[in-house]
Amino acid sequence: MQNDAPLSQEIAIVTGGSRGIGLAIARRLGRLGARVALCARTEGAAERAAEVLRGEGIDALGGPADVTAVESVRRLVARVREALGEISLLVNNAGVGLFRPAHEIEEAEWDRVLDTNLKGAFLMSREVAPHMIRQKRGHIIHIASLAGKNTFAGGGAYCASKWGLRGLAGSMAEDLRAFGIRVSVVSPGTVHTDFSPHAGKDPARMLQPDDVAHVVEMLVLQAPGSFVSEVDLRPTQKP
């Protein structure tokens, strides 16, 4: 990467980084000069994605982690710090979807959605925050959803997780801003990925992973004296 790349001094972790929105964000940060660690549930998926980015000239590391398990999160962060350096950017993108009436959801299914989408962001943020505090700099970005503001039939577990994520992000922003750490949340509408069914919707009218990556780019390039706390992202035309 060129030495004058704007993120050449940054070390980033992107969870759920092996495909879709996460991979698009990791690629965008890497093209801006950041050294990027991609987290996925399996080492194979993480390493395959990292290899693709390395083939594009990006300094990328693939690392397995279950973001719902504290020891797995700790191992990932320790590995990234040892291999790449002190973490200055964290994108909490890992998420799962389950779309069924709340009264039909099993307890284990509820736990899987809330643990991945909300607890995972909490555990990752809690692990990197002390390092950022010592550096007196950093940026944590949570990828939420417009489902964190708008309810819909069958969205009980998913909406609950994303409403909670927005609340976590807002509170963290207040907790950490005195240390020079910025916290932002991005809430996209429906994105064209294999994440959830989009029956009857036109993919060409849907948001694309690169649209979300573009917002992340804008956030991390914001001048240091301010930060954007929340972005809602919608397609120009309804799908």
Q: In the structure, what pLDDT confidence band is assigned to residue 198 with cuts at 50, 70 and 90? A: low
Residue 5 lies in a domain: no
Enclosing domain of residue 214: 11-233
**pLDDT confidence band for 199 (50 / 70 / 90):** low
pLDDT at position 200: 65
Q: What is the mean pLDDT of the chain?
A: 94
Joined tokens for residue 115? 């643990």
Residue 185: active-site member? no
Is residue 131 exposed (0-12), middle (13-18) or buried (19+ Cβ within 10 Å)? middle
102 has pLDDT over 90: yes
Tokens for 35? 């050294």
CA atoms within 13 A on the CB side of 10: 28
What's the pLDDT tens digit per position in 155-188? 999 999 999 999 999 999 999 999 999 999 999 9
User: What's 204's domain CATH number?
Assistant: 3.40.50.720
**Does 67 reside within a domain?**
yes
Q: Is the pTM of this model over 0.85?
A: yes
Burial classification of residue 236, based on how many CB atoms lie within 10 Å of its CB (0-12 exposed, 13-18 middle, 19 or more buried): exposed
Would you state the pLDDT for residue 1?
A: 42
Contact status, residue 63 vs residue 46, Cβ threshold 8 Å: yes
Q: Domain count of the chain?
A: 1
Q: Which residues contact 104 (CB under 8 A, 6 or more apart)?
A: none
Residue 187: closest CA among 157, 164, 204:
164
In a domain? residue 4: no
Pick from 173, 177, 170, 175: nearest CA to 137? 177
The model's pLDDT over 33-73, given as tens digits with 9 standing for 90+, comes to 999 999 999 999 999 999 999 999 999 999 999 999 999 99
Sequence-separated (6 or more) residues with CB below 8 Å from residue 111: none
Q: By the 8 A CB rule, do 201 and 192 touch?
A: no
162/148 Cα distance (integer angstroms): 4
Q: What is the pLDDT of residues 127-141, one digit of tens each?
A: 999 999 999 999 999
Q: Would you say residue 22 lies in a domain?
A: yes
- Residue 238 resides in a domain: no
Examine residue 3 and state whether it is found in any structural domain, yes or no: no
| 229 found inside a domain | yes
Which residue of the set 40, 73, 158, 186 is catalytic? Answer: 158
pLDDT (tens digit, 9 = 90+) per residue, 11-24?
999 999 999 999 99
Residue 40: predicted pLDDT: 95
* CB 233, CB 186: distance < 8 Å: yes
With respect to residue 160, please indicate whether it lies within any of the assigned structural domains.
yes
Q: Which residues contact 108 (CB under 8 A, 6 or more apart)?
A: none
Count Cβ atoms below 10 Å from residue 238 Cβ, excluding itself.
11
